[in-house]
Amino acid sequence: MIKEDISPIQSRVLELLRNKVDPQRTIDLGSNVIEDTGLDSVSVMDLVMELEDEFDVSIPLDRIAEVRTVADLADALEALTGGRPATGDAATGQGD
Amino acid sequence: MGIKQRIKTIGEAYGKLQALGRDPTSLEFDSVTSPTRGVLDGKPVMLFGTNNYLGLTFDPACVAAAAEAAGRFGAGTTGSRIANGTYAGHRALEAEIAAFYDKRAAIVFSTGYLANLGVISALAEKGDYLLIDADSHASIYDACKMSDAETIRFRHNNAEDLAKRLARLKGTPGDKVIVVEGIYSMLGDTAPLDEIAAVRREAGAGVYLLVDEAHSLGVLGRSGRGKCQAAGVEADCDYIVGTFSKSVGTTGGYCVSDVEGFEVLRSYSRPYMFTASLAPPTVATARAAFRRMAEAPELRERLWRNAQRLYDGLAKLGFELGPEVSPVVAVKLPDPASAVTLWNVLIDAGVYTNIAIPPATPNALSLLRVSVSAAHDDAQITRALEVFAEAGRKIGLPGRGGTATASRVA
């Protein structure tokens, strides 16, 4: 799953996730968002909502259910942002 | 995960809780003898975890109606309304519920769970959108899974977040159905329905609002219709779903609506079509209970008096509670183990409550769900508060180095 070039969305997802987990843990694109992060499902849902705000999208529940890895989560966001460059939108942020 | 692995994983998770005393998942009552009294493992207990808000399970009129209907119409219908036909009682019950709500039509389902499944899955199809509160009941989540529509969650009780998500869908074809609850069953908090109804109004055509009044029927509103009535927004609530298994004191569910053609659901809603219809004694009980609700508003007054007393009493003892006074008083505990321990100690002392721990709870809270009934008398509430005080002292809750306030606030 690990891609050589990390997209801006992947980079932002990794950044947010690394801020939430124990610094001892190594998180990369292949990490499982629950098993490898030590986060409970509620914290993961909170993270998803933060990302939704930031990228101004809503990820449908069935898409979230398919997410296993950090790369999957980034893919779901990539698909919904319609492949538009993420950096500008991500930088402006829509979070509260 | 295969069957064997699942059995092992679940067995281990529950094993830890069982080690602390009774198994919350397989509790057996020897008998239940009134809305507020039962016998558990040979020990008499006061029931503070039944959702029997109006205490109608033993109401003489309801019990007599059930007995009479069993004698006249039989014990069951042995099939669905599609296959075995609608009985006169089903039709009468639906007409009476529609009249109670002053809505055009009502459809009755075999349980409250099936009502959500049957209505939500039928309203939204592929290309439509379901916008649900993140803290929705399992029946709503399951209904969404059953529907081919896309499901989008919004932050609990946050009308602004809902508006933002609706705005993202602007110009997207397909109906949008907002799904919320009147009273949320875990923490007893109510939906800001005035704000949510305003969002629906502003969103315009093609946006519908469904409110599940499972825990608010008979509890809120001038005539007990629920939160929609209490908030004065019934005209904005396109679909109101409810259950007979709380205030109505039996089993079953329903949906009322003014939407033209609503009853077409009967011809394609699978949870309506492919399950046995309500048995005659259950139908008769529900009809009697709706009559009792209308003729005895004092039950609602007594319920709220009891709720206020219990909430104030527990707050005074220092327990951290749900955000508002409600017939569901949620006691927040620091972790699942302390919730199970307190729950066991309370039962030992004669008070039965419900335990709610992750993943069934919002924000991974560990809770004791204490529900009151109009049928509790003053002495029972007083005794329950004494038992909570003793149990709290016994296990060092609340106030053990602030642990009781360490849990996340909803």
Per residue in B180-206, pLDDT (tens digit) is 999 999 999 999 999 999 999 999 999
A56 to B168: CB separation less than 8 angstroms, yes or no: yes
Between B134, B151, B363, which is nearest A60 by CB? B151
The verdict on a CB contact (< 8 Å) between B358 and A61 is no
Using DSSP's 3-state secondary structure scheme, residue B145 falls into: helix
Residues of B with CB below 8 A from A61's CB? 144, 150-153
Residues of A in contact with B169 (CB under 8 A): 58
- pLDDT for the residue numbered B407: 32
Instruction: Taking residues A63-76, report their average pLDDT.
Output: 95
Q: What is the mean pLDDT of residues B237-246?
A: 98
Cross-chain residue pair B168–A41, CB shorter than 8 Å: no
Report the C-alpha gap between A43 and A1 in whole angstroms: 23
Name B333's bridge partners. B366
**Which of chain B's residues have a Cβ under 8 Å away from the Cβ of A49?**
153, 155
Instruction: Give the residue-averaged pLDDT of B335-362.
Output: 92
Stretch B141-162: mean pLDDT, rounded?
97
Work out the percent of chain B whose per-residue pLDDT is above 90: 88
Q: Which of B14-18, B107-111, B145-149, B172-176 has the lowest mean pLDDT?
A: B14-18
Number of H helices, E strands in chain A: 5, 0
Q: Which amino acid is at B76?
A: G
Q: Alpha-carbon distance A65 to B114, whole Å? A: 23
Give the closest residue to B249 by CA, choosing from B289, B217, B299.
B289
**Long-range contacts: B194-201, Cβ < 8 Å, 24+?**
B194/B231, B194/B232, B194/B233, B195/B159, B196/B159, B196/B162, B197/B231, B197/B233, B197/B236, B197/B237, B198/B159, B199/B159, B199/B162, B199/B163, B199/B166, B200/B236, B201/B236
Active site residues of A: 40
Whether A4 has a pLDDT exceeding 90, the answer reads: no
| Closest-approach residue (CA) in chain B for A52 | B165
Tokens of B122: 């039928």
Residue A57 contacts B, CB cutoff 8 Å: yes
Q: Which chain A residue shows the shortest CA-CA distance from B141? A: A61
Closest residue on chain B to A65 (Cα): B145
CB contact under 8 A, A49 and B168: no
Question: Can you give the pLDDT at residue A83?
Answer: 59
Q: Is A61's CB within 8 Å of B152's CB?
A: yes
Q: Which two tokens stand for residue B358?
A: 């992750």
Residue A84's pLDDT is 59
Contact B363 A42 (CB under 8 A): yes
Per-residue pLDDT for B408 more than 50?
no
In A, which residues are within 8 Å of B152 by CB distance? 58-61
- Distance in Å, alpha carbon of B207 to nearest chain A alpha carbon: 17
Using DSSP's 3-state secondary structure scheme, residue A42 falls into: helix
Residue A34 predicted with pLDDT over 80 = yes
Q: How far is B83 from chain A (nearest CA, A)?
A: 34
**Contact map slice: A 9-48 vs B, CB within 8 A:** 40-42, 45
Summarize the confidence of residues B157-171 as an average pLDDT.
Answer: 96
What pLDDT score was predicted for residue B99?
98
